[in-house]
């Protein structure tokens, strides 16, 4: 096939990429026929997935807008995927043209696309890094050049922490990031999980567990609202607390997805005191 002008030269056009599958689901244009075949197969097995990911991306836009309105102009987005379709830099720069954004992803294909997309954008960049190696990310020369650790930074962890099992100690890893962030910094999290209908802090309602099993792959680590609150202990979770993703400060411009309270992802924004 002819290489599209947006495809970096190091990208193999015949090998599907999960980052581009995701881009397809959120309505982006950085995907190829090989990716769309995979996307459609996965979608037929799990029809709620693309809607959940679009809903998650809409939450991310709302969270960035809210934080920009609070004066935050630095964003470190880890597990960013391909930065298209209303991603962090688009929203942050629209709100405040002097914002700065660093995207990090473990997937070299996502990073390669990201660098191509951001080639002409001096206020945003994309680097390869592993969330589980905070030291490497925080001392990366591009991160140090782009973000001032003496001022608040929003650490964005959208739809990534559910890939981190408990045995990798996500809270300890988060602590290493938080130690580096100035007071007044924020943490933005979206995560696979559902609200318990019977008792939000108690054991999952049976129907919720069944829905989850039907809808979400066993490969990811589901955490409920209580687990997410515990992950953020010591931080101030801002209103409206932990909610299903479409219900976190929904706004008229960005209407909540029809999955509503049945969403299989939870959202929160927390402030470092
Ligand atoms: C579901 S996508 C989320 C994309 C974007 N954050 C959003 O919410 O729209 C998850 C991304 O996390 C990345 N990822 C998974 N584990 C990671 C890790 N340990 N470090 C950095 N990125 C990781 C994957 O490569 C993928 O691009």
Note the pLDDT tens digit of each residue in 26-72.
888 888 899 899 889 888 887 777 888 888 999 999 999 999 999 99
Closest CA to ligand 1's atom 11: 79
| Atom number, ligand 1, closest to the C-alpha of residue 81 | 27
| Binding pocket residue ranges, ligand 1, CB within 6 Å | 19, 22, 56-57, 60, 78-81, 104-107, 110, 130-132, 158-160, 163
Q: 51 in a domain, yes or no?
A: yes
Q: Which domain holds residue 227?
A: 18-271
- List all residues 6 or more positions away from 119 whose beta carbon is below 8 Å from its beta carbon: none
Instruction: Name the burial class of residue 254, with classes exposed (0-12), middle (13-18) and buried (19+) by CB atoms within 10 angstroms of its CB.
Output: middle
* pLDDT of 199: 39
Closest CA to ligand 1's atom 9: 57
Q: 13 in a domain, yes or no?
A: no
Q: Give, for ligand 1, the residue of 163, 190, 219, 269 to mutate: max count of ligand atoms closer than 8 Å to Cβ.
A: 163
- Ligand 1 centroid distance, CA of 199 (Å): 30
- Ligand 1 centroid distance, CA of 163 (Å): 8
* pLDDT of 218: 57
CA–CA separation, 146 and 116 (whole Å)? 18
Q: 156 in a domain, yes or no?
A: yes
Q: 3 in a domain, yes or no?
A: no
Give the chain's domain count: 1
Q: Residue 208: give its domain's CATH number.
A: 3.40.50.150
- Reduced to 3 states (helix: H, G, I; strand: E, B; else coil), residue 124 is strand
* pLDDT of 208: 52
Q: 2 in a domain, yes or no?
A: no
* pLDDT of 265: 86
- Ligand 1 centroid distance, CA of 21 (Å): 13
- Reduced to 3 states (helix: H, G, I; strand: E, B; else coil), residue 74 is strand
* pLDDT of 86: 73
Model's pTM, two decimal places? Answer: 0.91
Which residues of the chain have a pLDDT value below 50? 198-204, 206
């Amino acid at each position: 096939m002819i290489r599209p002008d947006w495809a970096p030269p190091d990208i193999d056009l015949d090998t599907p990429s999960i980052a581009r599958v995701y881009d397809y689901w959120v309505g982006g244009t950085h995907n190829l026929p090989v990716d769309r075949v995979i996307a459609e197969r996965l979608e037929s097995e799990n029809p709620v997935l693309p809607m959940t990911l679009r809903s998650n991306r809409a939450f991310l836009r709302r969270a960035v807008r809210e934080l920009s309105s609070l004066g935050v102009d630095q964003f470190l987005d880890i597990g960013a995927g391909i930065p298209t379709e209303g991603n962090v830099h688009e929203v942050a720069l629209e709100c405040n043209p002097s914002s700065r954004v660093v995207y990090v992803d473990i997937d070299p294909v996502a990073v390669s696309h990201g660098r191509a997309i951001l080639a002409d954008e001096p206020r945003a960049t994309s680097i390869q890094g592993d969330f589980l190696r905070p030291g490497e990310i925080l001392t990366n020369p591009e991160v140090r050049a782009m973000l001032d650790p003496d001022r608040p930074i929003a650490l964005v962890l959208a739809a990534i922490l559910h890939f981190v099992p408990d045995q990798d100690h996500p809270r300890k890893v988060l602590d290493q990031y938080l130690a580096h962030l100035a007071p007044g910094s924020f943490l933005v999290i979206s995560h696979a999980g559902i609200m318990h209908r019977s008792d939000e802090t108690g054991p999952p309602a049976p129907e919720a567990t069944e829905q989850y099993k039907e809808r979400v792959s066993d490969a990811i680590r589901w955490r409920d609202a209580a687990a997410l609150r515990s992950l953020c202990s010591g931080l101030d979770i801002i209103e409206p607390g932990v909610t299903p993703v479409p219900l976190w400060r929904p706004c008229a411009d960005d209407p909540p997805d029809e999955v509503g309270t049945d969403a299989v992802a939870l959202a929160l924004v927390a402030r470092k005191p």
